[in-house]
């Protein structure tokens, strides 16, 4: 059959029908908006900026924080290509990161200066099942300025230490200062007369003074190098942490004759240590209180630390974790070994939800859906030091999603059934009423012509008989369609039976199937069957064909089917008997959020095709 240009052969809709469809579409959009509102509310309330892109990198969602960051209303962004809106970002670091995430379908993090606002931002891009990206980011300019200020402060401190070094001192065997120390005077503000002998103790913090005095005596007695930490008063009157080091100087007889040493200002180091302790304590509390199950281990699998949620997610109770994460049967039963091995190899990885069934490890408990994230941690030198594994129990979230999908399918099935009955009611009116009108008119003409023109009267009687039979056949067909389609044994067996029953012996029939029917929910199978059945019946009734071919193709993204014949064909848009059937098929496809196409030309046969997208949750 020679392909022809696709056309819409459903015929013009009446004004009432058009308005009815517009109302139905408006109600669908309102229901979709109500369903999406809780998620929109969350995205609008988070502190991060968020936007979503489709597979063509067009904005499909922009939250309030992103609007504020870019100083652009979302109405100016939605539906626009991000790189056309922000051409200055092309070929920049963030552009490369997002392109990689889009191309490789992997989670990607970025931290760089925004070429749009010239502010520092940090974010992550997550691939979405629809082929696009979800991107979270936040303005970290303040943090970067603080880091830069800290770096400069540390640089100034190092320069000060290098320039002034430490206070170098010397004392007699009893720890008494006998010579002037200019750097001491500069630091403490004491004069030589004030710090001479043991006067230097006056500059030591009162709480440390006794310890310093006792330490002086003990050191003099032990005659060994020493290290001590005291707080010294500087010339401004503030006390600073210092590290005091001293070594004995011996004479030729090996006796200690004096002491030399240094006093180093350790205040900044102390502050850094305290800040580090506070930071580690905050981190420990965050980890411990996190709802995520967190487990930190070495690249060889030795556990370093884990939180309470980690024990709870595996029902460990008081039982200790395995001595090595690679030997943990629960982790192995959950199928997490590949992601752990990936982390141990230094690769950051995220998983789709995976099912953990404790029974696989010989344990009790309910199966759980887990989402895993693994992050390798490197030292500043680039060495892999530890691996962080985080698990999120998404069981309830998945159950909620499945429940929502179940309700959606129920609603969709009810709507489909209502639409089917409306369609059949309409066809009863259009086709049967029209035929019976012809019968009635022909019988009236028969009575009028029987006495004056017997030949024409006979023709009108034959026409009445023919149209009466057509009405009977149409009524029988439509009545059978009111019953559920017989696909109890599956869509493919139903199609095979359809060809055997509906296609006469003189017509060659062929069925081709690709893909797994198990991907399709029952309600969708029924609607696909009804569309293809109508197409087969049209071909048999109206085309005068000698061959009918039916095809079904099921892939993860969509299900498609076609019916092709080698019959007489028709002119697209013309007055063809199959027009009502084509219109009903198109209506069904539209109800399924799919597409319908009919291609035909006189003498070239006909091909009708339907395509319906599949959601991820469909099929199982």
* Spatial separation of the C-alpha atoms in residues 374 and 46, rounded to whole Å: 24
* Residue from 557, 555, 551 nearest 607 by CA: 551
Show the CA angle centred on residue 381, arms to residues 324 and 284, nearest 5°. Answer: 50
Specify the DSSP element, H or E, that contains 228.
Answer: strand 226-233
Mean pLDDT of 589-608: 88
Asked whether residue 26 carries a pLDDT value surpassing 70, the answer given is no
Asked whether residue 562 carries a pLDDT value surpassing 90, the answer given is yes
Q: What mean pLDDT is reported for the chain? A: 82
Mean pLDDT of 577-590: 74
- Over the stretch 240-251, which tens digit does the pLDDT of each residue have? 999 998 888 888
Are 572 and 600 a contacting pair, CB within 8 Å? yes
* Residue from 551, 514, 515 nearest 535 by CA: 551
Predicted confidence band of residue 414 (pLDDT cuts 50, 70, 90)? confident
Q: Which has more confidence, 37 or 266?
A: 266
Asked whether residue 495 carries a pLDDT value surpassing 50, the answer given is yes
Predicted confidence band of residue 446 (pLDDT cuts 50, 70, 90)? confident
Long-range pairs for 360-367: beta carbons < 8 A, 24 or more residues apart: 360/333, 361/329, 361/330, 361/332, 361/333, 362/329, 363/315, 363/330, 364/315, 365/315, 367/395
- Phi and psi, residue 129, nearest 5°: -60, -25
* Residue from 479, 449, 484, 478 nearest 463 by CA: 449
Which is it for strands 547-554 and 120-127: parallel, antiparallel or unpaired?
A: unpaired
Asked whether residue 64 carries a pLDDT value surpassing 70, the answer given is yes
Asked whether residue 5 carries a pLDDT value surpassing 50, the answer given is no
Are 265 and 242 a contacting pair, CB within 8 Å? yes
- Over the stretch 73-85, which tens digit does the pLDDT of each residue have? 999 999 999 999 9
Asked whether residue 362 carries a pLDDT value surpassing 80, the answer given is no
Show the CA angle centred on residue 24, arms to residues 21 and 28, nearest 5°. Answer: 135
- Over the stretch 447-488, which tens digit does the pLDDT of each residue have? 888 888 888 888 888 888 888 888 787 777 666 655 544 566
Residue 150: count of CB within 10 angstroms of its CB = 11
Percent of the chain with pLDDT over 90: 28
CA distances from 110 to 92, 98, 105, 222, 594 (A): 12, 9, 15, 58, 38
Which residues contact residue 536 at a Cβ distance below 8 angstroms, ignoring those fewer than 6 apart? 498, 499, 502, 503, 548, 550, 563
Lowest mean pLDDT among 228-237, 268-277, 305-314, 611-620: 611-620
User: What pLDDT, on the 0 to 100 scale, is given for residue 617?
Assistant: 42
Which residues contact residue 38 at a Cβ distance below 8 angstroms, ignoring those fewer than 6 apart? none
* Spatial separation of the C-alpha atoms in residues 77 and 51, rounded to whole Å: 10
Predicted confidence band of residue 173 (pLDDT cuts 50, 70, 90)? confident
Percent of the chain with pLDDT over 70: 85
Mean pLDDT of 529-545: 88
User: What pLDDT, on the 0 to 100 scale, is given for residue 291?
Assistant: 83
- Over the stretch 369-391, which tens digit does the pLDDT of each residue have? 888 889 899 988 889 999 999 88
Strand segments (E) across 133-197 = 133-139, 167-172
Asked whether residue 157 carries a pLDDT value surpassing 50, the answer given is no
Mean pLDDT of 313-328: 77
Q: Which has more confidence, 427 or 495?
A: 495
- Over the stretch 109-156, which tens digit does the pLDDT of each residue have? 999 999 999 999 999 999 999 899 999 999 999 989 988 888 886 676
* Spatial separation of the C-alpha atoms in residues 179 and 182, rounded to whole Å: 10
Mean pLDDT of 24-32: 57
Residue 127: count of CB within 10 angstroms of its CB = 18
Mean pLDDT of 428-455: 81
What is the secondary structure of 311-331 as a DSSP string? HHHTT-TTSPPPSSGGG-HHH
- Phi and psi, residue 391, nearest 5°: -120, 135
Return the CA Rg of the chain.
42
* Spatial separation of the C-alpha atoms in residues 261 and 283, rounded to whole Å: 39
Asked whether residue 10 carries a pLDDT value surpassing 60, the answer given is no
Residue 184: count of CB within 10 angstroms of its CB = 20
Q: Which has more confidence, 558 or 358?
A: 558
Mean pLDDT of 377-406: 86
Residue with tokens 């060809």: 499
CA atoms within a 13 Å half-sphere pointing along the CA-CB vector of 18: 6
CA distances from 614 to 134, 406, 417, 520, 617 (A): 21, 14, 20, 8, 8
* Spatial separation of the C-alpha atoms in residues 317 and 322, rounded to whole Å: 13
Residue 366: count of CB within 10 angstroms of its CB = 10
Mean pLDDT of 323-339: 85
Give the length of the chain. Answer: 620
* Residue from 322, 318, 297, 298 nearest 308 by CA: 318
* Residue from 56, 103, 102 nearest 81 by CA: 56
Asked whether residue 519 carries a pLDDT value surpassing 90, the answer given is no
Specify the DSSP element, H or E, that contains 249.
Answer: strand 239-250
* Residue from 604, 477, 546, 613 nearest 7 by CA: 604
Which is it for strands 108-113 and 303-306: parallel, antiparallel or unpaired?
A: unpaired
Predicted confidence band of residue 2 (pLDDT cuts 50, 70, 90)? very low
Asked whether residue 426 carries a pLDDT value surpassing 80, the answer given is no
User: What pLDDT, on the 0 to 100 scale, is given for residue 220?
Assistant: 72
User: What pLDDT, on the 0 to 100 scale, is given for residue 137?
Assistant: 94
User: What pLDDT, on the 0 to 100 scale, is given for residue 13?
Assistant: 45
User: What pLDDT, on the 0 to 100 scale, is given for residue 59?
Assistant: 95
Predicted confidence band of residue 4 (pLDDT cuts 50, 70, 90)? very low
* Structure tokens belonging to residue 264: 């180093």
């Amino acid at each position: 059959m020679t392909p022809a240009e696709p056309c819409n052969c459903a015929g013009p809709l009446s004004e009432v029908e058009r308005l009815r469809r517009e109302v139905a579409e408006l109600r669908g959009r309102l229901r979709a908006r109500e369903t999406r509102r809780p998620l929109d509310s969350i995205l609008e309330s988070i502190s991060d900026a968020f936007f979503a892109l489709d597979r063509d990198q067009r904005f499909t969602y922009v939250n309030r924080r992103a609007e504020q960051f870019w100083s652009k209303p979302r109405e100016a962004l939605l539906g626009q290509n991000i790189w056309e809106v922000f051409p200055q970002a092309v070929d920049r670091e963030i552009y490369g990161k997002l392109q990689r995430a889009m191309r490789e379908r992997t989670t990607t993090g970025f931290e760089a200066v925004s070429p749009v606002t010239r502010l520092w931002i940090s974010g992550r891009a997550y691939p979405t099942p629809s082929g696009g990206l979800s991107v979270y980011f936040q303005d970290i300019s303040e943090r970067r300025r603080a880091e830069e200020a800290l770096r400069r402060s540390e640089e100034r401190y190092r320069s000060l230490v290098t320039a002034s070094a430490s206070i170098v001192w010397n004392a007699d065997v009893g720890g008494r200062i006998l010579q002037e120390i200019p750097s001491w005077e500069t630091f403490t503000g004491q004069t030589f007369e004030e710090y001479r002998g043991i006067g230097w103790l006056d500059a030591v913090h009162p709480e440390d003074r006794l310890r310093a005095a006792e330490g002086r005596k003990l050191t003099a007695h032990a005659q060994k190098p020493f290290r001590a930490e005291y707080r010294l008063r500087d010339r401004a009157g503030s006390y600073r942490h210092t590290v005091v080091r001293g070594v004995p100087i011996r004479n030729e007889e090996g006796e200690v004759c004096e002491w030399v040493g240094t006093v180093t200002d350790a205040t900044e180091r102390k502050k850094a240590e305290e800040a580090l302790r506070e930071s580690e304590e905050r981190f420990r509390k965050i980890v411990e209180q996190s709802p995520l199950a967190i487990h930190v281990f070495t690249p060889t699998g030795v556990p370093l630390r884990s939180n309470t949620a980690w024990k709870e997610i595996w029902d460990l109770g008081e039982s200790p974790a395995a001595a090595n994460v690679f030997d943990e049967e629960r982790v192995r039963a959950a199928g997490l070994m590949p992601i752990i091995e990936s982390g141990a190899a230094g690769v950051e990885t995220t998983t789709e939800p995976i099912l953990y069934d404790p029974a696989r490890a010989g344990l009790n408990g309910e199966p759980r859906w887990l989402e895993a994230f693994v992050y390798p941690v490197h030292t500043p030198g680039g060495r892999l030091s530890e691996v962080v594994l985080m698990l999120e129990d998404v069981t309830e979230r998945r159950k909620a999603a499945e429940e929502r999908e179940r309700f959606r399918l129920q609603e969709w099935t009810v709507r489909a059934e209502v639409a089917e009955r409306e369609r059949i009611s309409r066809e009863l009116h259009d086709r049967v009423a029209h035929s019976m009108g012809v019968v009635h008119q022909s019988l009236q003409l028969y009575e009028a012509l029987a006495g004056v023109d017997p030949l024409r009267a006979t023709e009108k009687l034959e026409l009445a008989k023919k149209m009466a039979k057509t009405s009977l056949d149409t009524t029988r067909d439509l009545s059978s369609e009111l019953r559920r389609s017989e696909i109890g044994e599956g869509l493919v067996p139903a199609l095979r039976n359809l060809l055997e029953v509906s296609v006469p012996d003189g017509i060659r029939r062929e069925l081709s199937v690709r893909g797994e029917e198990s991907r399709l929910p029952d309600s969708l199978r029924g609607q696909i069957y009804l569309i293809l059945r109508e197409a087969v019946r049209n071909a048999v009734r109206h085309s005068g064909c000698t061959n009918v071919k039916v095809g079904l193709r099921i892939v993860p993204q969509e299900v498609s089917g076609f019916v092709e014949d080698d019959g007489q064909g028709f002119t697209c848009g013309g007055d063809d008997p199959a027009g009502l059937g084509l219109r009903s098929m198109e209506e069904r496809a539209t109800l399924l959020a799919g597409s319908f196409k009919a291609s035909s030309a006189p003498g070239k046969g006909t091909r009708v095709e339907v395509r319906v997208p599949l959601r991820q949750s469909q099929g199982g």
